[in-house]
């Protein structure tokens, strides 16, 4: 894995970067959360725009992005619209999802953009995205704009076999992502080991940085152990969690420091 430096923050080396999600519904909730985060340890904020009431209005979305930048000038901004199929609140057609993300990319107001690997593809043909994904034009626009794309895949029900986890991460790299991300739900402790093992192998064989997590209480170790298994970023909360198993950001920062070798 080659580290990636974005506005002075090096992802993929040393202590994993800490990302705090913001899930407010309205401008005041979002700004209140951003204000709280100013006093907390973090590197990245993730704006989960699928929670935002006015996400269909491009000028409202740009306004929030500008305000986040103003309140948190030293934080990297990750824009995420998480669809319901992947565990979020978002309910847009694939066409509208692509248009929203294209608008954010063209605005240049986010440092990182999360795009779901299987957008607009047939779930029965999961290997298809490489040749026909509607994300390919966005990935090339992102390269022109200097915005980093996190290609992501989530499974809130189970942990697929280790080989499948690895092949998904390498598919993301083949499509040209900046960072490859997987979040899966463990049913057993062995599932957590499968995720950690896939993470280690991917971090040794791929050149892009990766982000992985095993969700829920069983997987909590994966959120603290990124430095050892090769995950470059971990999500911690300040208030409302955006996924099961996330730890409080301040406590997580302490654990990451304590474990740092
Ligand atoms: O994809 C992810 C990871 C996540 O699901 C987690 O488990 O921490 C949290 C989400 O906000 C983020 O978009």
User: Which pLDDT does position 115 carry in this prediction?
Assistant: 98
Distance CA 214, CA 192 (A): 6
Distance CA 117, CA 123 (A): 11
Per-residue pLDDT of the chain (261 residues; tens, 9 = 90+): 899 999 999 999 999 999 999 999 999 999 999 999 999 999 999 999 999 999 999 999 999 999 999 999 999 999 999 999 999 999 999 999 999 999 999 999 999 999 999 998 876 665 566 778 999 999 999 999 999 999 999 999 999 999 999 999 999 999 999 999 999 999 999 999 999 999 999 999 999 999 999 999 999 999 999 999 999 999 999 988 989 999 999 999 999 999 998
pTM assigned to the model: 0.97
Distance CA 164, CA 174 (A): 15
Taking the domains of the chain in order of start, what are their residue ranges? 15-255
Cα(26) to ligand 1 centroid in Å equals 20
Nearest-CA residue for ligand 1 atom 7 is 243
User: Which pLDDT does position 128 carry in this prediction?
Assistant: 66
At 45 the three-state DSSP class reads: strand
C-alpha dihedral sign at 67, 72, 74, 79: negative
Nearest-CA residue for ligand 1 atom 3 is 183
Can you name the residues that pair with 236 across neighbouring β-strands? Answer: 247
Fold assignment, 15-255: TIM Barrel (3.20.20)
Q: Which of 22, 48, 21 is nearest to 236 (CA)?
A: 21
Among residues 17, 51, 181, 189, the one annotated as catalytic is 181
Q: Which of 152, 137, 132 is nearest to 83 (CA)?
A: 152
CB-count exposure of residue 32 (10 Å: 0-12, 13-18, 19+): middle
Q: Which of 38, 41, 37 is nearest to 18 (CA)?
A: 41
In terms of residues, how long is the chain?
261
User: Which pLDDT does position 125 carry in this prediction?
Assistant: 66
User: Which pLDDT does position 50 carry in this prediction?
Assistant: 98
- Asked whether 219 and 192 are in contact (CB, 8 A), the reply is yes
Pocket test for ligand 1, best of 235, 244, 246 (most atoms within 8 A of CB): 235
At 255 the three-state DSSP class reads: helix
At 83 the three-state DSSP class reads: strand
Binding pocket residue ranges, ligand 1, CB within 6 Å: 21, 46, 48, 80, 82, 114, 152, 154, 181, 183, 213, 215, 235, 242-243, 246
């Amino acid at each position: 894995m080659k580290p990636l430096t974005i506005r002075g923050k090096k992802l993929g080396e040393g202590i994993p970067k800490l990302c705090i999600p913001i899930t407010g519904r309205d401008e005041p909730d979002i700004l209140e959360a951003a204000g709280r985060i100013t006093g907390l340890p973090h590197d990245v904020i993730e704006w989960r725009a699928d929670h935002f009431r006015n996400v269909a209005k491009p000028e409202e979305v740009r306004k929030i992005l500008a305000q986040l930048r103003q309140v948190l000038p030293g934080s990297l901004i990750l824009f995420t619209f998480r669809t319901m199929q992947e565990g979020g609140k978002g309910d847009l057609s694939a066409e509208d999802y692509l248009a929203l993300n294209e608008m954010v990319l063209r605005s240049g107001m986010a440092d990182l953009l999360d795009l779901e690997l299987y957008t607009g593809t047939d779930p029965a043909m999961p290997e298809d995205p490489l040749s026909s994904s509607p994300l390919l034009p966005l990935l090339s626009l992102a390269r022109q704009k200097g915005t980093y794309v996190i290609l992501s895949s989530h499974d809130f029900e189970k942990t697929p076999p280790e080989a499948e986890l690895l092949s998904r991460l390498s598919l993301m790299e083949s499509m040209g992502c900046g960072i490859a991300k997987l979040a899966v739900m463990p049913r057993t402790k062995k599932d957590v080991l499968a995720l950690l093992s896939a993470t280690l192998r991917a971090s040794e064989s791929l050149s892009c940085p990766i982000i992985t997590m095993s969700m829920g209480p069983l997987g909590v170790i994966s959120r603290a152990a990124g430095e050892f298994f090769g995950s470059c970023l971990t999500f911690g909360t300040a208030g409302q969690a955006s996924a099961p198993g996330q730890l409080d950001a301040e406590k997580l920062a302490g654990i990451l420091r304590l474990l740092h070798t």
